[in-house]
């Protein structure tokens, strides 16, 4: 389905949707069957599904290359079984405390690359104990990891990508609790200060 106006669709089923491109309106969808779509790319979504939508998605969901600037509380009530979520190349600027992704307890991979994220609240990922990969490359993160425990609760995290940001310093709490982390990427930042014991919790680190 290409360049379609689906404003009045009541449901999207696996027999009629594989890939949605250039969708302008998706405001009245009430039900999307499991496996109805594989990827939603290059459209004009300004925000993700409302709480009324029931998207029974298992596995991977891609909402990359859109215009998403806001993910409101409760947005992910529709897909609690989701394991991989790609929100790369959107317009996100902040990740707020324990309300954006807390309804995705089974998520293993979260891709937020190439947004405009400059602020991550302390505890923003607190409820995501199963997350293994967090990709935040290509954002505008500068002081966030200096000032709060942005990655608190990510006890299963194996890979954290912070390449191509504006990080200036790393404090003792920046990576607190990331005891399983194996790969930490900090290439192309502006790091001038690293506090003593900043990496003390990274006991499993293999590559940086």
Per-residue pLDDT of the chain (208 residues; tens, 9 = 90+): 444 444 444 444 444 443 444 333 343 333 333 333 333 433 444 445 444 444 445 688 888 999 998 887 777 877 888 999 999 999 999 998 766 788 899 999 999 999 999 988 888 888 899 999 999 999 999 865 656 778 989 999 999 999 999 998 898 888 988 999 999 999 999 999 898 888 999 999 998 8
Query: Measured between alpha carbons, how far is 16 from 38 in angstroms, rounded to an integer?
Result: 12
Name every residue whose Cβ is closer than 8 Å to that of residue 135 and which is 6 or more positions away in sequence. Answer: 88, 109, 110, 111, 112, 113, 159, 161
Tell me if 106 is assigned to some domain: yes
Q: Model-level pTM?
A: 0.76
Tell me if 53 is assigned to some domain: no
* CB distance 146 to 168 below 8 Å: yes
Counted domains in the chain: 1
Identify the CATH number of the domain in which residue 72 sits: 3.80.10.10
Tell me if 151 is assigned to some domain: yes
Handedness of CA 23, 25, 27, 31 (dihedral sign): negative
Report the candidate in 99, 106, 137, 140 with the shortest Cα–Cα distance to residue 121: 99
Task: For 182-200, give the secondary structure using H, E and C.
Answer: CEEECCCCCCCEECCCCCC
Range of 136's domain?
Answer: 61-207
Tell me if 51 is assigned to some domain: no
**Rg of the Cα atoms in the chain:** 18
Tell me if 32 is assigned to some domain: no
Query: Measured between alpha carbons, how far is 199 from 172 in angstroms, rounded to an integer?
Result: 7
Structure tokens at 129: 């104990």
Tell me if 76 is assigned to some domain: yes
Tell me if 56 is assigned to some domain: no
Tell me if 55 is assigned to some domain: no
Handedness of CA 156, 77, 63, 44 (dihedral sign): negative
Name every residue whose Cβ is closer than 8 Å to that of residue 15 and which is 6 or more positions away in sequence. Answer: none
* CB distance 74 to 97 below 8 Å: no
Q: What is the pLDDT of residue 146?
A: 58
Q: What is the pLDDT of residue 4?
A: 46
């Amino acid at each position: 389905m290409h360049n379609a106006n689906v404003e009045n669709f009541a449901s999207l089923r696996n027999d009629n949707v594989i890939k949605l491109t250039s969708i302008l309106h998706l405001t009245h969808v009430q039900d999307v069957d499991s496996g109805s779509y594989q990827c939603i790319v290059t459209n004009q979504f300004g925000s993700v599904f409302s709480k009324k939508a029931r998207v029974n998605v298992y596995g991977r969901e891609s909402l990359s290359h859109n215009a998403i600037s806001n993910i409101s509380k409760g947005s992910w009530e529709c897909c609690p079984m989701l394991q991989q979520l790609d929100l790369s190349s959107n317009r996100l600027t902040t990740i707020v405390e324990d309300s954006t992704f807390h309804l995705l307890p089974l998520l293993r991979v979260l891709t937020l690359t190439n947004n405009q994220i400059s602020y991550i609240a302390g505890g923003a990922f607190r409820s995501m104990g199963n997350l293994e990969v967090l990709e935040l490359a290509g954002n505008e993160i500068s002081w966030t990891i200096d000032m709060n425990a942005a990655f608190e609760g990510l006890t299963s995290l194996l890979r954290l990508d912070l390449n191509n940001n504006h990080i200036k310093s790393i404090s003792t709490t920046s990576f607190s609790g990331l005891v399983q982390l194996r790969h930490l990427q900090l290439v192309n930042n502006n790091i001038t200060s690293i506090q003593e014991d900043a990496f003390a919790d990274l006991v499993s680190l293999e590559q940086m």
